[in-house]
């Protein structure tokens, strides 16, 4: 029997995270039964009618947790700057393999994978290597899965905007010359598109590249968030040396991987938002979001 949309029972792995919470809110508002899972889900950040379950995707027991659900959406993530590199392999690639295998074994009807735009650009960082392997594992195990590749996502509770506000010096930001462009997207625009892929018709087997209304250089992105900064390009070798030093400092959220990632474009071309009946001009700009806070 095919479930009617209102009956869909969705397991959101990583449902307590920044994007996962937004997805849970949209799904619950649309009348679905939602379970948010993570190692320590924060009930207070979720609607009352969303159930929570403690789950580590690197442990056994994933199968028991997903069993009985119609759809599994995977939004488990480690922040890109987390070191060592093997933790990305364990959580992003290994955790995804476990989840999709469990979903297949227990008869889940649809798997939804939130990947990242950089997987297609062949960016050689621990985060993107693991995200690439995760996406391949999903396609191999469950070819009808729905895969999303968003560019950087902003909104209340994101890491990106506060990082730019905190991390850049008050006046001058040294930036590697030749840094790539970003395509920032508001979480309030992304979440309904994810919810459509979770329950809507016509999305199975698809991969969606998603970005916001503007393609921005990193310098332009910084100015949208913290307008008074002067962005000074520094030669690649100098930036690389700085990143190597930062790599050795525990807790510093930039390093060689971030330096490598920054040099690539993170742009959805084409931007697949039209697959969700949305026009690019209807999306919220980063500037409008920052001004409206
Ligand atoms: N935010 C962006 O700009 C952006 C851009 C492109 C793609 N994405 C993708 O979008 C998805 C969601 O990202 P996000 O920004 O929402 O990340 P996030 O805020 O860091 O949330 C990550 C979630 O994963 C959970 N988690 C981490 N390790 C886990 C484990 N071992 N087992 C189970 N749960 C675990 C976390 O909860 P606990 O700590 O309680 O376990 C949290 O719920 C990810 O696939 C990410 O790669 C994000």
Distance 55 CA to ligand 1 centre (A): 13
Domain coordinates in residue numbering, the chain: 5-153+185-210+267-278
Which residue's CA is the nearest one to ligand 1's atom 8? Answer: 116
Distance 58 CA to ligand 1 centre (A): 14
Is residue 266 helix, strand or coil?
A: strand
170-210 residue pLDDT tens: 555 556 666 689 999 999 999 999 999 999 999 999 999 99
How far is it, in rounded angstroms, from Cα 97 to Cα 58? 10
How far is the CA of 54 from the CAs of 59, 120, 207, in angstroms? 11, 32, 29
Q: Give the residue carrying structure tokens 């790539």.
A: 180
Is residue 174 helix, strand or coil?
A: strand
Distance 150 CA to ligand 1 centre (A): 13
In this prediction the pTM is 0.91
The answer as to CATH 3.10.20.70 being correct for domain 5-153+185-210+267-278 is no
How far is the CA of 274 from the CAs of 5, 205, 279, in angstroms? 21, 17, 6
Ligand 1: residues whose CB is within 6 Å? 14, 16-20, 38-41, 55-58, 75-79, 91, 95, 114, 116, 150, 152-153, 160
27-63 residue pLDDT tens: 999 999 999 999 999 999 999 999 999 999 999 889 9
The alpha-helical segments, DSSP class H, found in the chain are: 18-29, 62-66, 86-88, 95-105, 126-141, 160-167, 187-199, 218-225, 236-247, 256-262, 286-292
How far is the CA of 82 from the CAs of 137, 182, 253, 258, in angstroms? 22, 21, 8, 10
Residue 232 phi/psi, 5-degree rounding, is: -110, 115
């Amino acid at each position: 029997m095919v479930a009617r949309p209102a009956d869909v029972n969705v397991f959101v792995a990583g449902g307590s995270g920044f994007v996962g919470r937004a997805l849970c809110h949209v799904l619950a508002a649309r009348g679905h039964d939602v379970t948010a899972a993570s190692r320590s889900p924060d009930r207070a950040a979720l609607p009352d009618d969303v159930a929570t379950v403690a789950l580590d995707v690197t442990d056994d027991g994933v199968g028991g947790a997903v069993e009985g659900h119609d759809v599994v959406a995977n939004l488990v993530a480690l922040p890109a700057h987390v070191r060592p590199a093997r933790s990305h392999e364990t959580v992003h690639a290994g955790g995804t393999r476990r989840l999709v295998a469990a979903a297949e074994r227990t008869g889940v009807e649809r798997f939804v994978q939130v990947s990242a735009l950089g997987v297609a650009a062949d960016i050689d960082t621990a985060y993107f290597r693991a995200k690439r392997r995760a996406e391949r594992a999903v396609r191999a195990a469950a070819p009808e899965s729905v895969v999303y590749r968003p560019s950087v996502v902003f909104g209340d509770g994101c890491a990106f905007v506060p990082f730019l506000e905190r991390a850049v010096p008050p006046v001058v930001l040294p930036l590697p010359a030749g840094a790539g462009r970003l395509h920032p997207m508001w979480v309030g625009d992304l979440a309904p598109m994810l919810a459509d892929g979770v329950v809507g018709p016509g999305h199975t087997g698809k991969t969606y590249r998603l970005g916001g209304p503007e393609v921005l250089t990193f310098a332009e992105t910084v100015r949208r968030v913290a307008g008074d900064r002067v962005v000074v390009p520094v030669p690649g070798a100098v930036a690389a040396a700085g990143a190597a030093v930062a790599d050795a400092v525990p807790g510093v959220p930039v390093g060689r991987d971030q330096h490598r990632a920054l040099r690539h474009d993170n742009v959805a071309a084409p931007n697949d938002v039209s697959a969700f009946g949305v026009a690019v001009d209807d999306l919220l700009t980063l500037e409008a979001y920052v001004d409206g806070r």
